[in-house]
Structure 1
Amino acid sequence: MASQAVSASEITPQLSNTTIGSGEPTAGSSSAPVSTRDTPSTHVVSAENGETGGVEGSIGGDAPVEKKRVKLEDFTKCSESLLWKLMMSFYDRKGVDSWSQGIVPHFITCNAFIGKVYARVLKGWLEDVQSSSNSGLHNTMKLDPTKPLYIIELGTGAGKFSFFMLKALWEMADVLPFPVEKIVYVMTDFTESNFNFWKTHPVLHEWVEKGALEFAIFDAVNDDSIKLHNSGKVLGGDNPTDNPICVVANYLFDTLCHDIFQVEKGVLKEGLISVGSSREKEDDILDPDIIKNFSNLYQYNEIDRGYYAEGKDAVDAEHLGRILEWYRDFFDKNDPDDTGASILFPIGAMRALRRLSNMGGGRMVVISGDKGNNNVQQFRGLLDPHIAVHGSFSLMVNYHAIGAYFTSRGGFALHNPQEEASLKVSCFVLPGEKQKDDKGIEVKEGDLMGEGMERIDRERERDFPNLKHAFKDWAENFGPNDFFIMQKSMKEDAVNPSLKSVVALLKLCDWDPDVFYKFRDVILNQVCQANAKLRNDLCRGIPRVWDNYYQLDKEKDVSFEIGRFFYGIRDFGKALRYYTISSETIGEHHVTFHNMGLCFYSLNMTSDAVEHFQKSIKMNAKYVKAQNWLEKVQKEIEAKNAMTMEMAEGATAPVVA
């Protein structure tokens, strides 16, 4: 879409909650007159400042308050709207800075704990499909250990999660039921800036050299194949992979295109959106700053289940129509108060998963973490979509619909039932065969209605007991969201956490560098008074912090803080090692040189101490600490030299008669 200037020529008044009108039926709709409900968006929320966008309402019964609004497009199908072009524009223009500068929150899905969780869940699946005793009806996913097993991460971003999961898998090599050297992790994203960042990242280089890591530019919604950068191999097209495809997707599905539906008194309706801005003028309709100034309108029209019968989704029309009918049927039969239901439909995620399943010959396992819902009771009420703004924007992922898509295609879903969670993790399996029940009888559509879908899921998961238990242990009982809440609460709610509790947290998260950095002051303030056993535990674990370090944010100098730790326990040699690493990786700094000078001084290497104090002053002539120490050490050297000369003169003086 070409960029163009748009002015605030449209004055939009507060619209009534329900407007009756007429119009032409849309594609896939019934021929009945169209009933519309045009409502201004009151659900655009900024995660940064809590401001709401949209049209202001009337006050105290007065006339509606008019507010200028730049209309950027007419009412259109949500998945085809300007929203998603703005999304791609944001990530394309910001690149890795979206993560390194903290514009997009990422710690919850980019830490050592979640990397290990996903690796453990995948291990459970590997144990099931490689089990010689498992000849279950739905288990048709046997792996060929002589062929590659591709793990494709969608929307990789900066690559931090990739590093943690790949590292966790290789550290489990001795217990994996599949040769780890045949596992190829594929980092993908649609932006070239992220792709170029991976290619030059020093930590990823060793995995590329092993043949364990590949990079690819891949548009998850639109591309049918993936060309691997290093080997040149193409996944997809007419050549499905020998083994099933493994897919990882974190905080991606909430940013892929969605459609909007409502069920009102048993009637299924589509939601159309008119994207607008609250600013006076927009010179570039792909300017990402529009996101924080959204002023969107919505309109709802009656349709039927054939909504996806034509166009790019026609190949999945049977499954998509079945899911829409499930929602219409469920809320028609289970809505005694006529509250209706509002349903976000993750069509972008389903398109991506369809293409990826084709690459694996219809066989696929997916692990995904995102903000979302899998409980349909959360969909009750006739509301416009909630759009969360955090630099870019995101919507709640309807994991129930994605699970229903897999079930309709012959697979099943595992969901974490926890509802109070910033990150919901789900797992989906597609064995690659026709829908059948546990008796081998082909499943009919009626069998999937109501509670039938969940019943069939439970039947199919029986053939994957190791996956089921790994998911329950690692993603449900205490999962990534629980870990995130625990470390956040310790940091924000505990006035003075004990060193023992911090060590326990670090052990839980496999000595994650970000967690170490958050609690560095607690460690440094208490380690000198700690008993020998606790100090030894820290000394054994701290090197693991550096092993897990993935350089992204230069404001977090982890190696410098490790150097401070070792200086605090008077291990000056190790402190020097990490200060040197800090200078080489993050860059030279006057404080680092000053601290190195202190280490050399403590090791009685005074000439080296002088050199580093001088380097510190050269970088910052006003740094008083380095000036004072330089003066002190130089005086000590002068005094020592004078004493040495006196002793030498005394030794050579003639004997007095």
Structure 2
Amino acid sequence: MTIGAEDSLTTLETNKPLSESVLWRAQRSYFERVGIDAWRDATVPHYVTCNPTLAHAMAQVVLGFLRDCHAGEARAGSEPFHVLELGAGSGRFAFLFLRVLAELREVMGWSHVPIRYVMSDFTESNLRFWRAHPALRPFVTAGLLDFALVDVERMDSTLELLESKTMLGAGSLGRPLTVIANYVFDGVAQDAFFIEKGQLSECLFTVATETPELDLSAANVLTRLRLASSRRAVHPDYYPEPELNGLLRGYTDRLDGGSVLFPAPALRCLEKLSALASGSLFLLSADKGHLDEASLALEVDPQVTVHGSFSLPVNYHAFQQWFLRKGGEHICADHRQSSLVVAAFILGAPARGMPEARLAYHLAFNGPSPDGFFRLRQGLEAHYEMLEFEQLLAHVRLSRYDARILGDCLPAFSQKMTTLSAQERVALAQAIGRAWANYFHIGESRDLAFAFAACLYQLGEPASALALFEESLALYGEDPRTLWNLAMCLFALGRSEDAARSLVKAGESFPLLHAHIGLLPKSG
């Protein structure tokens, strides 16, 4: 996105602070225009924060914090603990988190403790998608899930919960508010400063394009923007808020050389969220970014990454300092997290401290962790066919039955199908069932229901295969290959008349199917 000297461009704006740049308007227009399609076609990366491994780890930490709070209460109240997810995006993380939450509450005998998970985003189309999604309705019916329109950059002082029709304002919550923010703060407006020899300068950006009269809501608009930066000396008392200026002064005093991204809008949002619970806030966030001050100023200019939308590294050190200055605490990993930084921040900790939250975080993120598993998967996925059956199955189990990972492993499992023992066949069928239960459909082209069903049929499980072929029909329409395979399952179950009807319907769409015997594959 850099402007070159040879470029012939139309300037959209000149020397604007980063947080006021036209980039953010283009970003908002992109998400408002494409809605759930941003994740459906994988244009916006989300798998690393929307998988069962991370959901399980975060659910353990959140439950640890809630146990700490509950143990410190004089008496149990009927008000629910609120868990607010900012920028819930595709909805996959929320679905997985809620599944784990329900499971762990049952295991620990905590089903009687009321918890309300709130999915939020600034895009109304995303909320409509979630509220209509059949996989989320059981959680809504159980009173476990609600929805809210929340704009991190333009956070209001009130929060309306759409299902329960509850309006939250300052001091509304008698229990601490938990906030989850995954891949959120990297896409929220930030400021950028350059520090050299004790002098603070703000980074100013000029944005240009090769396309005159560019429509900011047009497809791929961000790929057509070019940036150039300059600097202007400023006083450390840059913001109206003394707390933010104190953070800036700290960087000016301690750093020398390089740029620092500063998440002022995100910190203002947290200030308003903490006010809902009279200053009691637990933030659990996963993103790309920096936790230590030494790594902040390694870049001369902020590095913008474009992927449909765009993102910048998160200055988690600023979050840490903001919480500490307000008397809060933080929890972070004891090692460098290479692909995903996961950190916790607390305001108004329970009087007894947070032993449960700290223990849960330690077990989830120090040593074996979602970040480590993600890196391991990246190395393994090109070599699945070399693994033995038990090794493949162990990988799926370690992923906590990730539907995507099992789908990637299916070709390797199929190669071994003829040599599997009866016990191994049962184990694989059970793994498919558990992975499918973790699947949250957003309309992507990959038909996992079909792939899982075909494998189940090969395993001698026609009833289970039939159920998933029916899921495939419901999700992707009456494909003749699906209808044919469904008929094979019906024949195996002795339902000849139903099978014949399915074959006729398949043959009407694709007459050449009549010459085929056995299951049909489906690519894509």
- Smaller-chain TM-score range? over 0.9
Equivalences for 1:39-50 in 2 at 5 Å?
A: 44=1
Residues 545 and 325 of structure 1: is their aligned pair in 2 closer, same or farther, counting only changes over 3 Å? Answer: same
SS in 2 for 1:463: coil
Residues 206 and 323 of structure 1: is their aligned pair in 2 closer, same or farther, counting only changes over 3 Å? Answer: same
Give the structure 1 partner of residue 373 of structure 2: 483
Shift of 1:112: 1.3
For the 8 Å contact 1:86–1:288, the answer to whether it is kept is no
Give the counterpart letter for 1:267 in structure 2.
Q
Establish whether residue 302 from structure 1 lines up as the match of residue 229 from structure 2.
Answer: no
SS in 1 for 2:511: coil
Larger radius of gyration: 1
CA distance in 1 between partners of 2:36 and 2:171 (Å) = 33
Equivalences for 1:602-613 in 2 at 5 Å?
A: 602-603=492-493, 605-613=495-503
Question: Which deviates further from its counterpart, 240-249 or 506-515?
Answer: 506-515
Give the structure 1 partner of residue 304 of structure 2: 387
Residues 588 and 54 of structure 1: is their aligned pair in 2 closer, same or farther, counting only changes over 3 Å? Answer: same
Give the structure 2 partner of residue 511 of structure 1: 401
Percent sequence identity is 30
Question: Which deviates further from its counterpart, 482-491 or 604-613?
Answer: 604-613
For the 8 Å contact 2:304–2:310, the answer to whether it is kept is yes
Establish whether residue 374 from structure 1 lines up as the match of residue 301 from structure 2.
Answer: no
Equivalences for 1:251-266 in 2 at 5 Å?
A: 251-266=183-198
Give the structure 1 partner of residue 221 of structure 2: 290
Give the counterpart letter for 1:364 in structure 2.
L
Give the structure 1 partner of residue 246 of structure 2: 322
CA distance in 2 between partners of 1:432 and 1:574 (Å) = 48
SS in 1 for 2:105: coil
Give the structure 1 partner of residue 330 of structure 2: 413
SS in 2 for 1:385: coil
Counterpart among 90, 100, 109 of residue 49 in structure 2: 109
Give the structure 1 partner of residue 521 of structure 2: none
Give the structure 2 partner of residue 73 of structure 1: 13
CA distance in 1 between partners of 2:298 and 2:465 (Å) = 59
Give the counterpart letter for 2:233 in structure 1.
E
Residues 282 and 420 of structure 1: is their aligned pair in 2 closer, same or farther, counting only changes over 3 Å? Answer: farther
Establish whether residue 357 from structure 1 lines up as the match of residue 247 from structure 2.
Answer: no
Counterpart among 122, 130, 138 of residue 190 in structure 1: 122
Residues 218 and 252 of structure 1: is their aligned pair in 2 closer, same or farther, counting only changes over 3 Å? Answer: same
CA distance in 2 between partners of 1:142 and 1:306 (Å) = 43
Counterpart among 79, 102, 105 of residue 170 in structure 1: 102
CA distance in 1 between partners of 2:438 and 2:113 (Å) = 20
Give the structure 1 partner of residue 157 of structure 2: 224
Equivalences for 1:112-151 in 2 at 5 Å?
A: 112-131=52-71, 144-151=76-83
Give the structure 2 partner of residue 501 of structure 1: 391
Counterpart among 202, 205, 209 of residue 270 in structure 1: 202
CA distance in 2 between partners of 1:494 and 1:120 (Å) = 30
Q: How many residues are paired up?
A: 517
CA distance in 2 between partners of 1:121 and 1:244 (Å) = 15
Give the counterpart letter for 1:508 in structure 2.
L
CA distance in 2 between partners of 1:102 and 1:401 (Å) = 30
CA distance in 2 between partners of 1:420 and 1:68 (Å) = 41
CA distance in 1 between partners of 2:299 and 2:80 (Å) = 48
Question: Once superposed, what is the RMSD of the aligned Cα atoms?
Answer: 2.3
Establish whether residue 91 from structure 1 lines up as the match of residue 31 from structure 2.
Answer: yes
SS in 2 for 1:306: coil
Give the counterpart letter for 1:320 in structure 2.
L
Establish whether residue 250 from structure 1 lines up as the match of residue 167 from structure 2.
Answer: no
For the 8 Å contact 2:10–2:211, the answer to whether it is kept is yes
SS in 2 for 1:227: strand
SS in 2 for 1:361: coil
CA distance in 1 between partners of 2:267 and 2:69 (Å) = 24
For the 8 Å contact 1:528–1:568, the answer to whether it is kept is no
Give the structure 2 partner of residue 233 of structure 1: 166
For the 8 Å contact 1:253–1:348, the answer to whether it is kept is no
Residues 505 and 494 of structure 1: is their aligned pair in 2 closer, same or farther, counting only changes over 3 Å? Answer: closer
Equivalences for 1:562-577 in 2 at 5 Å?
A: 562-577=452-467
Counterpart among 258, 261, 276 of residue 341 in structure 1: 258
CA distance in 1 between partners of 2:307 and 2:429 (Å) = 38
Give the counterpart letter for 1:101 in structure 2.
D
Give the counterpart letter for 1:250 in structure 2.
N
For the 8 Å contact 2:66–2:81, the answer to whether it is kept is no
Residues 66 and 224 of structure 1: is their aligned pair in 2 closer, same or farther, counting only changes over 3 Å? Answer: same
CA distance in 1 between partners of 2:29 and 2:174 (Å) = 36
Structure 2 unaligned blocks of 5 or more = 519-524
For the 8 Å contact 1:145–1:179, the answer to whether it is kept is no
Residues 79 and 118 of structure 1: is their aligned pair in 2 closer, same or farther, counting only changes over 3 Å? Answer: same
For the 8 Å contact 1:372–1:397, the answer to whether it is kept is yes
CA distance in 1 between partners of 2:388 and 2:207 (Å) = 51
For the 8 Å contact 1:490–1:497, the answer to whether it is kept is no
Give the structure 2 partner of residue 331 of structure 1: 255
Give the counterpart letter for 1:324 in structure 2.
L
CA distance in 2 between partners of 1:628 and 1:568 (Å) = 17
Give the structure 1 partner of residue 3 of structure 2: 54
TM superposition score normalised by structure 1: 0.75
CA distance in 2 between partners of 1:514 and 1:381 (Å) = 35
Give the structure 1 partner of residue 316 of structure 2: 399
CA distance in 2 between partners of 1:380 and 1:198 (Å) = 39
Residues 606 and 147 of structure 1: is their aligned pair in 2 closer, same or farther, counting only changes over 3 Å? Answer: closer
Q: Could you give the per-residue CA deviations for residues 528-550 of structure 1, whole angstroms, max 9, x where no partner exists?
A: 31233332322333221222121
For the 8 Å contact 2:296–2:315, the answer to whether it is kept is no
Shift of 1:283: 3.3
Residues 288 and 267 of structure 1: is their aligned pair in 2 closer, same or farther, counting only changes over 3 Å? Answer: farther
CA distance in 2 between partners of 1:170 and 1:109 (Å) = 20
Shift of 1:176: 4.9
For the 8 Å contact 1:583–1:589, the answer to whether it is kept is yes
Q: Could you give the per-residue CA deviations for residues 583-613 of structure 1, whole angstroms, max 9, x where no partner exists?
A: 2233221111111222234445544443322
CA distance in 2 between partners of 1:117 and 1:94 (Å) = 30
Structure 1 unaligned blocks of 5 or more = 1-43, 45-52, 56-64, 133-140, 310-316, 333-339, 434-459, 631-657
Give the counterpart letter for 2:101 in structure 1.
L
Residues 347 and 575 of structure 1: is their aligned pair in 2 closer, same or farther, counting only changes over 3 Å? Answer: same
Question: Which deviates further from its counterpart, 402-411 or 492-501?
Answer: 492-501
Give the counterpart letter for 1:627 in structure 2.
A
SS in 1 for 2:386: coil
Establish whether residue 469 from structure 1 lines up as the match of residue 359 from structure 2.
Answer: yes
CA distance in 2 between partners of 1:378 and 1:143 (Å) = 45
Q: Could you give the per-residue CA deviations for residues 215-267 of structure 1, whole angstroms, max 9, x where no partner exists?
A: 1111122122211111111122x443111100001100000000001110121
For the 8 Å contact 1:372–1:396, the answer to whether it is kept is yes
CA distance in 2 between partners of 1:181 and 1:113 (Å) = 24
Shift of 1:177: 7.8
SS in 2 for 1:428: strand
Residues 473 and 231 of structure 1: is their aligned pair in 2 closer, same or farther, counting only changes over 3 Å? Answer: same
Q: Could you give the per-residue CA deviations for residues 166-206 of structure 1, whole angstroms, max 9, x where no partner exists?
A: 11111111355855651001011111110110111001111
Question: Which deviates further from its counterpart, 350-359 or 517-526?
Answer: 517-526
CA distance in 1 between partners of 2:299 and 2:286 (Å) = 26
CA distance in 2 between partners of 1:408 and 1:199 (Å) = 39
Residues 494 and 519 of structure 1: is their aligned pair in 2 closer, same or farther, counting only changes over 3 Å? Answer: closer
CA distance in 1 between partners of 2:254 and 2:461 (Å) = 66
Residues 363 and 273 of structure 1: is their aligned pair in 2 closer, same or farther, counting only changes over 3 Å? Answer: same
For the 8 Å contact 2:117–2:144, the answer to whether it is kept is yes
Shift of 1:76: 1.6
